[in-house]
Each structure stands twice: as structure tokens, then as C-alpha cells.
Amino acid sequence: MERTLAIIKPDAVERNLQGEIIRIIQQTGLRIVGMKMLRLSRSQAEGFYAVHRERPFFASLTEYMSSGPCVVMCLEGADAIRRYRELLGATNRDHAAEGTIRRIFALDVERNSCHGSDGPDTAAVEIAYFFSTLELVG
């Protein structure tokens, strides 16, 4: 069993897409073992995406991620990190495969509707960024 961190980003929450996105995730067989809704402060968004702090899109990304509420989830399942990234599709929706979450819902390369951890080490750090052990079930 493996765990990954998923975020339904502000562009999707703004359009009331949480239910549809959660249904797609659950249909793949991944289980939600933690879930909360919150609005990141600018500095919390900067902390979460610190790995990108030198990138040209960092200021815009952290402004967007703190612009409205997110739904943050911890997902669990066999090969959860890879399976959920595959379900998300490419960062840029124009390059994302048909049927992927970003292909269906993303507005552009930044407002791409969902986040997923990219490996076991980042998943562990990202899950701990949002959830205490007591908040994770199953």
C-alpha cells in the first residue's frame, strides 16, 4: 500500500467540481484516508511549492494557490502515486491524455485543477504538511 497527496486546486473548487473529481478518483479504486477543505495563505502556498521557488511561474502559482479554498486529500492504494499521476495527466492540459482529470477540467497550464505528489519522498513530506497521523484513517 502506498499513500499520495492530492489537492483539488482553487480553480476547480471555484467551479464546484469537487464531487465530480472525487468520483473519478474513487472509481480508480484509490481510497481517501484523509480529507479537508482549507484556504492556503500566501506563505503556506510558498512553503508547499518551495521546490519551485526559483521558477519564473512561482509568484503567479503561489498567488493562485492562495486565491481560494482547496480540498486536500490523502489517497491510499497499491501504486497510488503513479496511478493518481496517470489519472491527472500532463501538467499542461493541452498535452494531457483524453479522459484525464486535467484534460477534462483544467483551464490552462497553471489553473490545472489538481495536484499529485511526484514520488515517495515528496508524498511523505506533502502528506505531513497537511495531516497529522491522527487525521489519517484506514
- Distance between CA 5 and CA 134 in Å, rounded? 16
- Quick check: is 115 catalytic? yes
Q: Which does 24 bind (CB under 5 to 8 A by kind): ligand RTP, Mg ion, none?
A: none
Stretch of 21-29, 34-42, 71-79, 108-116 lying at the interface with ligand RTP (CB under 6 A): 108-116
Q: Which of 115, 117, 126, 130 is catalytic?
A: 115
The yes or no reply on residue 112 touching ligand RTP (CB under 6 A) is yes
Site residues (CB under 6 A) for ligand RTP, limited to 26-55: 52
Minimum separation from the CB atom of position 92 to ligand RTP (A): 7
Q: How many CB atoms lie within 10 A of CB 106?
A: 25
Matching residue, cell 495536484 = 115
The yes or no reply on residue 93 touching ligand RTP (CB under 6 A) is no
Minimum separation from the CB atom of position 118 to Mg ion (A): 5
Q: Residue 9 annotated as binding?
A: yes
Are 75 and 33 spatial neighbours (Cβ–Cβ below 8 Å)? yes
Q: 70: which strand partners?
A: 38
46: its cell numbers: 510558498
The yes or no reply on residue 125 touching ligand RTP (CB under 6 A) is no
User: How many CA atoms are closer than 13 Å to the CA of 136, on its beta-carbon side?
Assistant: 17
Phi and psi at residue 56, to the nearest 5°: -65, -25
- Distance between CA 117 and CA 51 in Å, rounded? 12
User: Can you say which residues are annotated as belonging to the binding site for ATP?
Assistant: 9, 57, 85, 91, 102, 112
Active-site positions read 115
User: Can you say which residues are annotated as belonging to the binding site?
Assistant: 9, 57, 85, 91, 102, 112
